[in-house]
Amino acid sequence: MSRTAYNRLTLFACILTFVVIVLGAWVRLTDAGLGCPDWPGCYGHLTWPSSPETIAVADQVRADRAVDVGAAIREMVHRYAAGILGLIVLALAILAWKRRREPGQPVKLPLLLLALIIFQSALGAWTVTLLLKPAIVLAHLAGGMLTFSLLVLLYLRTREKQPRPNLPQRKLGLALNLALLVLIVQILLGGWVSTNYAALACPDFPQCTGQWWPETDFREGFTLWRGVGVDFEGGILDQEARVAIHMAHRIGALGVIAVFGWLLLKLFRTPGLAAPAAVLATLLTVQISFGILNVVLSLPLSIAVAHNGMAALLLGSMVYLLHRTRLPAGQPT
């Protein structure tokens, strides 16, 4: 396989990973995470129970939960897409090993991606078997975002033309790394909001339940691990704990705005980076708007799913900027 073909396969993997992330958000936000109580199949099927007979049998598997065919379909579509992605990442790793003597061919990165995909599969199984335990669901989300970021990086590193940053661009490392760190923390906070069903704990904006600082319980809200055997679908936290999680995400958004505002000023003033700065500014503006609309419109499905997808695009943009402003390996400083 040529370098160009490998790069195109990597681009396809990036796109598919984005689709898997969006599908995962769709599954979670439509309460389909336990649409199939087993893994990797669904009620013992490779697809899902569809006939009256198979549905009747499936109903006996979980006597406390009636079969929801729609939820099962959504869950399995997500699993199929993730499975195809796993096969593509496996192919990328094998091809990278075969091409390991080719100049400019990354090897460690595809192998790391393969290990990450295997771990993601385990997290996907534990998400079901541990009944949507928030820490596991959050780790699964974080793994998806990391997979997307590393695939974007692999795509950038396998392009024929590599960046040759000028000196002002190379001086942006501190600002870019700080912005990336703040973004990662905010994505994790957003995931914690979602996995604990705290998105509507504050139903108004900019205040929360008519107050600037309502009653909160951060200790309960940020207890990361709870007992095994608890069904977390719908959430188990009281209002004060959910408000604490929601308020932490809002405070994190202010941090993102501050740090990214500083970064964008630097980007717009740096020769050659006006276009990517404009893209980043647009993505950030849309993301903040989606976050506000999720509250004032009571979490509409389309906007809530788009909010997750936009987080991935912001992350990918930061990976691009970090790659764009760093010297390629082997280039003299």
Query: If you write DSSP's letter for every residue of 285-296 in order, what string do you get?
Result: HHHHHHHHHHHH
Confidence of residue 64 (pLDDT cuts 50, 70, 90): low
Region 4-28 average pLDDT = 97
Q: Looking at residues 107-112, what average pLDDT do you find?
A: 97
62 pLDDT higher than 90: no
| Poorest-pLDDT segment among 49-53, 97-101, 115-119, 235-239 | 49-53
Kindly report the pTM of this predicted structure: 0.95
Q: What is the pLDDT of residue 106?
A: 96
Dihedral over Cα of 233, 234, 238, 243: its sign: positive
The residue-averaged pLDDT of 47-53 equals 88
271, two tokens: 């020769």
pLDDT in tens, 287-330: 999 999 999 999 999 999 999 999 999 999 999 999 999 977 64
91 vs 97: CA distance, rounded Å: 10
Cα end-to-end distance, the chain, whole Å: 32
Q: Which residue has the higher pLDDT, 260 or 231?
A: 260
pLDDT value of position 327: 76
pLDDT for the residue numbered 63: 64
What distance in Å separates the CA atoms of residue 233 and residue 326, rounded to the nearest whole number? 44
Q: Encode pLDDT of 137-149 as tens digits.
A: 999 999 999 999 9
pLDDT tens per residue across span 260-290: 999 999 999 999 999 999 999 999 999 999 9
pLDDT value at residue 51: 87
* Mean local confidence (pLDDT), 179-193: 98
Active-site positions read 75
- Give the relative orientation of helices 173-195 and 239-269 as an angle to the nearest 10 degrees: 160
